[in-house]
Amino acid sequence: EAQVTQNPRYLITVTGKKLTVTCSQNMNHEYMSWYRQDPGLGLRQIYYSMNVEVTDKGDVPEGYKVSRKEKRNFPLILESPSPNQTSLYFCASSQEPGANSPLHFGNGTRLTVT
Amino acid sequence: QKEVEQNSGPLSVPEGAIASLNCTYSDRGSQSFFWYRQYSGKSPELIMSIYSNGDKEDGRFTAQLNKASQYVSLLIRDSQPSDSATYLCAVRGSSASKIIFGSGTRLSIRP
């Protein structure tokens, strides 16, 4: 089944404790992206990747890191999480940027930082 | 001005009626337009995509695009209680690397 898989689904952590949220897609998509969703603010892009080893900042990149060593994986790293990073996070992928290809979303990760 | 704007709602529509959702965007060079449905706590699910001016129909859903007015809409015919959700308008702008989302319109179908 074609899908984007995120793990974990729920995560509660403390301020400053490094964490990684994994994202993997099995559709051979070139483009991958991370979004956070907060009430009233909608989906905001954190980072995106056009292809392997190519990543770029979205609208809200502060406090996050990403890497794209393989086409299928695009982990989101929070080196020192803070309470304002408490949010619902979505990973998404699409066939290629520039084409008329929509985003396919993972099931989301609800992160709470205390 | 937000890049993609939607009325946050809630929009309340009686069952069986037509629900009309609207979206405006600021980037005149925008190329692709998408409507997603999102149930509370779930991931966005693609309903429709539209790339050229005019109407596109898929079952009970019709997307309408007017690039001159920078306006895209979604019509849901014969609304069902299961259509109650938040509807997100998304636009791939002239910079094809980004898809920008509106903050969503909450739709409620009342029996």
How far apart are alpha carbons A72 and B67 in whole angstroms?
35
The answer to whether A89 and A74 are in contact (CB under 8 A) is: no
The answer to whether A93 and A6 are in contact (CB under 8 A) is: no
**Stretch A63-82: mean pLDDT:** 97
pLDDT tens for each residue of B23-63 = 999 999 898 999 999 999 899 999 999 999 999 999 999 99
How far apart are alpha carbons A89 and B106 in whole angstroms?
20
Which residues, numbered 23 to 42 in chain B, qualify as contacts with chain A under a Cβ-Cβ cut-off of 8 Å? 31-32, 34, 41-42
Query: Do B44 and A100 lie within an 8 Å CB cutoff?
Result: no
**Stretch A9-32: mean pLDDT:** 96
How far apart are alpha carbons B69 and A10 in whole angstroms?
42
How far apart are alpha carbons B93 and A59 in whole angstroms?
14
How far apart are alpha carbons A34 and B83 in whole angstroms?
26
How far apart are alpha carbons B84 and B12 in whole angstroms?
9
Distance from CA of A90 to the nearest CA of B (A): 7
**Stretch A27-46: mean pLDDT:** 93
pLDDT score of A95: 87
User: In this predicted model, which residue has the larger pLDDT, A32 or B94?
Assistant: A32
pLDDT score of B8: 84
Residue B1's pLDDT band (cuts 50, 70, 90): low
Residue B81's pLDDT band (cuts 50, 70, 90): very high
* Closest by Cα among A70, A73, A3, A66 to A35: A66
How far apart are alpha carbons B6 and B22 in whole angstroms?
6
How far apart are alpha carbons B57 and B71 in whole angstroms?
17
Q: Which residue in B has a C-alpha nearest to residue A37's C-alpha?
A: B103
From chain B, the residues in CB contact with A104 under 8 A are 46
Residue A99's pLDDT band (cuts 50, 70, 90): low
pLDDT score of B9: 84
From chain A, the residues in CB contact with B7 under 8 A are none
Instruction: Give the residues across from A88 on adjacent strands.
Output: A37, A110
How far apart are alpha carbons A9 and A47 in whole angstroms?
19
Interface test mutation site (partner A, options B72, B103, B105, max chain A beta carbons within 10 A): B103
From chain A, the residues in CB contact with B45 under 8 A are 105
Distance from CA of A41 to the nearest CA of B (A): 6
The answer to whether A64 and A34 are in contact (CB under 8 A) is: yes
From chain A, the residues in CB contact with B96 under 8 A are 97-98
Query: Do A43 and B101 lie within an 8 Å CB cutoff?
Result: yes
Question: Which tokens hold the place of A103?
Answer: 């985003």
pLDDT score of B95: 75
How far apart are alpha carbons B94 and B27 in whole angstroms?
7
Average pLDDT, chain B: 93
pLDDT score of A88: 97
Q: Which of B34, B45, B104 sits opposite A42 (nearest CB)?
A: B104
